[in-house]
Amino acid sequence: MQTEKLEKIVKLVVEELGKYKGEEIKQSKDICSLNTKPNTSKQTDEVATSVVQLYGKSNEQDVAEINPNQYSTIIPLYPEKQEKQDIIEANEEEEFLHHSSDRLTEEPGEYLKYTPARVAVGRAGSRPRTSTLLKFRFDHAVAVDAVYGEVSQTLLDRLNLFTVYTKVEEKEVYIRRPDLGRRLSEESKQILKKKCEYAPIVQIIASNGLSASAINENLEDVYLSLQQSLKNLNIQVGTPFYVHEGRVGLMDDIGEVLEPEVVINLIGERPGLVSAESMSAYLCYKPRHGTIESDRMVISNIHQGGIPPIEAGAYLGTVVERMLKHKASGVKLIQKEG
Annotated binding site for adenosylcob(III)alamin: 248, 269
Task: Give the sign of the dihedral formed by CA 112, CA 116, CA 117, CA 118.
Answer: positive
**Where in the chain does DSSP place strands (E)?**
162-165, 202-207, 241-244, 262-268, 279-285, 296-302
Backbone angles phi, psi at 111, to 5 degrees: -80, -40
**205 contacts 243 by C-beta, under 8 angstroms:** yes
- For the chain, first and last CA: distance in Å? 89
Backbone angles phi, psi at 274, to 5 degrees: -130, 5
**182 contacts 241 by C-beta, under 8 angstroms:** no
Task: Report, in this order, helix, strand and coil percent for the chain, each rounded to 5.
Answer: 55, 10, 35
**309 contacts 278 by C-beta, under 8 angstroms:** no
Question: What DSSP state is assigned to residue 337?
Answer: H
Q: Which residues make up each annotated binding site?
A: 248, 269
Backbone angles phi, psi at 127, to 5 degrees: -115, 160
Spatial separation of the C-alpha atoms in residues 264 and 201, rounded to whole Å:
11
Spatial separation of the C-alpha atoms in residues 153 and 218, rounded to whole Å:
15
Spatial separation of the C-alpha atoms in residues 192 and 242, rounded to whole Å:
11
CA-nearest of 226, 243, 254 to 162 is 243
**219 contacts 278 by C-beta, under 8 angstroms:** no
